[in-house]
Structure 1
Amino acid sequence: MATVLLVIHLMISAALVGVVLLQKSEGGALGIGGGGGGGGFLTGRGTANLLTRTTAALAAAFFLTSILLTLLARHTAPVGSMFDQGSSGAAPTTGPAVPGENTSKAPAGRGGILDKLQQRGNAPAVPQNQ
C-alpha cells in the first residue's frame, strides 16, 4: 500500500513540476511555452486557465498524498520512543580504569576501516622507496 501511494505521489510531483514550468511567467520569457512572441500551440487565455486549474488540482493531490503517506508511516512505526526502551540494547558499562591494569584485551571491533588500520601494526603509513 505504501509503495503504491509513494509511486503515485512521485508521479503527481513530477507532473506538478512540468505544469508549473509550462506556465507563462509574469516577467517575460522565462516560461517554456509562452515566453517569446506570437502564435503557438499553448497560447491564449483559455490555456492559461487550464494550466492554472491543472496546477491547483495537482497541488491538492500532492497535499493529499503527502498527508496519507504521513498517516501511513505513523501507523506502521513502532509505538513509543527509543528512550523508553531502556538500556537493553546498550553496551555493558564497566567501572573506571585502574592504573597498572592490563588493557591490551580490548574488545574486537566491527571490521571498520579503523580496525583494519590498527591491524597493520608498525607498517609505514607511506610507501618507502628502497
Structure 2
Amino acid sequence: MENVVLIIHLLLALSLIGAVLLQRSEGGGLGMGGGGGAAAGRSAGTAMGKLTWILAIAFICTSMALTVIAARNAAGSSVLDRIVDSPAPSAAEEETPGLSGGSLLPPAADDDAPLLPTAE
C-alpha cells in the first residue's frame, strides 16, 4: 500500500512541476511589474490554475497519507530500542585477524629478509 501511494505521490510531484512551468508568466519576480498583485484583486481562474490547485491538494493529501502510513509502521518501536537490544560482540568477533596488538600499521619486516628483491 505504501509503495502505491509513494508512486502516486511522485507522479503528482512531477505533474505539479510541469503544470507550474507551463503557466503563463505574470511579470517580474516577487509580484513586481505586470500590473497585477494584491491591488488588482483576484483574476479569473484559468484551466491551468485550477489544474495546479487540484494537483497541489492531491500532493498534500498523499504527503499526509505517507506520514500516517509511516507512523503506523513505526508505532511502538524506536531506533534506540534496536541499539540497546542488539547483542554485544563476543571476544572472538572483536579481535580482527591479521592485526597484531591492535595496530593499524603493517607488520614489521624481518631483519634477515631483503627489502627489495635482487636479481642474481
Q: Give your verdict on TM over 0.5.
A: yes
Report the TM range for the smaller structure's normalisation: 0.5 to 0.7
> What is the deviation of 1:77?
1.4
The aligned residue for residue 10 of structure 2 is: 10
For the residues of structure 1 that align with 2:83 and 2:12, how far apart are their CA atoms? 42
TM-score, scaled to structure 2: 0.57
Partner of 2:71: 74
Residues 64-112 of structure 1, C-alpha deviations (whole Å, 9 max, x = no match): 00000110111111414344568332647xxxxxxxxxxxx99235xxx
Q: Note closer, same or farther for the CA distance 1:72–1:106 as it changes in structure 2 (3 Å cut).
A: closer
> What is the number of equivalent residue pairs in this alignment?
89
- Which structure would you say has the larger Rg? 2
Task: Name the CA distance, whole Å, in 2 between partners of 1:23 and 1:11.
Answer: 19
Cα distance between partner residues in 1 of 2:14 and 2:93 = 53
TM-score scaled to structure 1, two decimals? 0.53
Q: How big is the shift at 1:118?
A: 3.0
Alignment of 1:52-71 (within 5 A): 52-71=49-68
Gaps of 5+ in 1: 29-44, 93-104, 110-114
Give the AA of the match of 1:3. Answer: N
CA 1:122–1:5 in structure 2 vs 1: closer, same or farther (change >3 Å)? farther
Residue 6 (structure 1) shift: 0.6
SS at match of 1:18: helix
Q: Secondary structure at the match of 2:24?
A: coil
Deviation at 1:12, TM superposition (A): 0.5
Name which of 71, 94, 97 aligns with 1:107: 94
Summarize the Cα distance change of 1:106–1:65 in structure 2 as closer, same or farther, 3 Å threshold.
Answer: closer
Is the alpha carbon distance of 1:86 and 1:23 closer, same or farther for their aligned partners in structure 2, counting shifts above 3 Å?
Answer: closer
Distance 1:82 1:62, change over 3 A: same
Q: CA RMSD in A?
A: 3.6
Bigger relative CO (Cα 8 Å, ≥ 6 apart)? 2
